A and B are shown apart, each in its own frame.
Chain A
Amino acid sequence: MIPVLGQVFTAPSIDWWALAPQLILLGAALLILVVSALLAERCPAWFSGVVALVAGAGVFVSGFYLWYDIRDSGPRSIVSGALSLDGFAVLFTLLVAVAVVMTVLVADAYLEREHMDSPEFHALLLLAATGAIVMASASDLIVLFLGLESLSIGLYVMAAMQFRREEAQEAAMKYFILGAFSSAFFLYGIAMVYGSTGSTGLAHARDYLNRLDTAIVDQPWMLMLGFALLLVGLAFKVAAVPFHFWAPDVYQGSPAPVSGFMASAAKAAGFAAMLRIFFVAFGQSRTDWSPVLGVLAVVTLVVGVVMAIIQTDLKRMIAFSSIAHAGYILVGVQAGTSEGTAAALFYLFSYSLMVLGTFAVISLVQWQDGQPLDRFEGLADRRPLIGFALTVFLLGQAGVPLTSGFIAKFLVIKAAVDERTWWLAIAAMVISAAGAYIYLRVIFAIWRRPGAVDEEGGEPVAAPVVPPASGFAILGAMAFTLVVGFVPQFLIEFARDAVPVLLG
């Protein structure tokens, strides 16, 4: 109770512990900025990286603490209904923490090699991560929008950080224009939902729909328009066709560690928002949005796979394959069941680790003229472990059993089959068979023995230097991919228990 100008202002009671992940990230970002600004040249080069690493690890630990806290005392709403603390939010917090740690480890040597400013990079990374976590836990559309913007603005700058390369600037410019464009759509969608339900709170919107049930909503077209605009805004963020144009350019032009962060944490945050909005808040009108998402999923899959097949630059190829993977996740989302949601969560978790690992390997092999495939020839011969790890990541993305990617694909297909959407299940699987070609091309290249007889010539390149931090990150991601492929039970349980709940 704080007296303000004679009136009594009742501050909302805030569960500070529940905000620990956001606070840690924010605090670390500010610490980096302040210390590096004050000490300037005297600030040791390792400082920001170590702080970011510790922050990532801290978020991971606090995430686990919250996970068991929720298990004991149940999910709850915090900051007077702005955020919800449930398993769903915490699982995404863990995912973002992993992405932050991986990105910091991979970026360490990369920043030095490319002469980029590491304090700014790390501060922006932490701020973007905060935005991602806020997105995943928001239970109010405006809070969600704020999370989305802090994530996006951080990423715009990170994409441009390699400012000596024109590609990076161009990528950042495209990302910025299209990102802002999609944010505007998302915001207009919020306005429509606000206009038709009278609140930006998701719980409020849900209750409103439940109350009306099948009765005609005051302005049904307005709410439908709101859905559509929210979907467009989020489809941009997760790079679903036909809102994917930015992704290949941006992934290709951005520094490899940033691309990895975009394909993992940023995509996951977009899907978290999508799941919270559509599955939780508008679950009642599942029949309205599910077919739309289904069609979106198939179109995304086809375009992603077909375009990936014709690429010659590895980063661009992975970008298109990342679009295709958004299609698989949409298959899980469109099921509109808790099983489908769990499948999508599982998919996001396992895909994130695979794509982070892939970009980590790519970041080792950096040339001025991009990453054409033949740069990777003979990689397995020169760096067997790295070559094997990349093979595991690619096989995982192709959905070969005994990798986490297979279980993920299996779960989303199962979610679709359980809802009897046969056409979608069959289409997704058949496309995945064609998609295998994308990854086989790369695998063939990296296992090509130098000097082997082949229909195509080409000199193998020198072995890349593997800094210990990157190597550690790559091996960690590989271990995760394989372990989850062999014993997926624990992650399935996590995903199952992390189905979102909505508290008003």
Chain B
Amino acid sequence: MDVTTGWYLVLGALLFIIGGVGLLIRRNPLVMLMCVELMLNGVNLTFVAFSRRLGDIAGQTVVFFVLVVAAAEVVVGLGLIVSIMRRRPDVTADDLKLLKG
């Protein structure tokens, strides 16, 4: 069976969905951060697949931008998580409920 670009798109979509669902159901901030990364990588795969199918290099360039942005997000995200963890060591997303109403 030939592996067409369509399969890559499906894989990208699956990664995106797994990341999205994971972000919604997991409660550990670190795992949630990883889920965001998974979503972004799903999109990256989609971009590359489209780029191959369209014969257009732009899609692959986009991936570099996304990687940089993702790295910047991780830096900020980890910083936030570390500063929260330092104060409340075993925090989960459910514990973040000072703000409510």
Contacts and interface: CB of A to CB of B under 8 A. Distances in A.
Q: Does A touch B (CB under 8 Å) in the complex?
A: yes
Interface of A: 142, 145-146, 149, 153, 156-157, 160, 163, 166-167, 169-174, 176-177, 180-181, 183-184, 187-188, 190-191, 194-195, 198-200, 248-249, 252-253, 311-313, 316
A181 B96 contact: no
Given A176-B80, A194-B58, 17 more contacts: A153-B73, A160-B80, A163-B83, A166-B87, A166-B88, A171-B99, A177-B32, A184-B20, A184-B43, A188-B16, A188-B39, A188-B46, A191-B43, A195-B9, A249-B99, A253-B99, A311-B101
B36 A184 contact: yes
B58 A199 contact: yes
A125 to B, nearest CB: 15
A153 B76 CA distance: 7
B43 A187 contact: yes
B7 interface: no
Interface string B41-65: 0110011001001101011001001
Nearest to B38: A184
Among the interface residues A163, A173, A187, A253, which one has the most CB atoms of the partner chain B within 10 A?
Answer: A187
29 contacts: A142-B62, A145-B69, A149-B69, A149-B73, A153-B72, A156-B76, A156-B80, A166-B98, A167-B98, A169-B80, A172-B80, A177-B36, A177-B77, A183-B73, A184-B39, A184-B40, A188-B39, A188-B43, A190-B43, A191-B12, A191-B50, A194-B47, A194-B59, A195-B46, A199-B56, A248-B101, A252-B101, A253-B99, A311-B101
Contacts of A191: 12, 43, 46-47, 50
B64 to A, nearest CB: 10
Main secondary structure of the interface of B (DSSP, over half): helix
Contact of B65 (A146, A169, A177, A312): A146
Contact of A181 (B20, B29, B65): B20
Contact of A187 (B53, B66, B98): B66
B10 interface: no
A167 B84 CA distance: 10
Interface string B6-41: 000100100010011001000001001100100110
Nearest to B50: A195
Nearest to B84: A169
Contacts of B65: 142, 145-146
Interface of B: 9, 12, 16, 19-20, 23, 29, 32-33, 36, 39-40, 42-43, 46-47, 50, 53-54, 56, 58-59, 62, 65-66, 69, 72-73, 76-77, 79-81, 83-84, 87-88, 93, 96, 98-101
Contacts of A188: 16, 39, 42-43, 46
A171 B42 CA distance: 27
Contact of A316 (B39, B53, B62, B101): B101
Nearest to B12: A191
A286 B7 CA distance: 32
| Those 9 A-B pairs whose CB atoms lie nearest each other, nearest first | A184-B39, A249-B99, A195-B50, A180-B36, A191-B46, A170-B96, A149-B69, A187-B43, A188-B43
Contacts of A146: 65, 69
Contacts of B53: 195
A249 B72 CA distance: 23
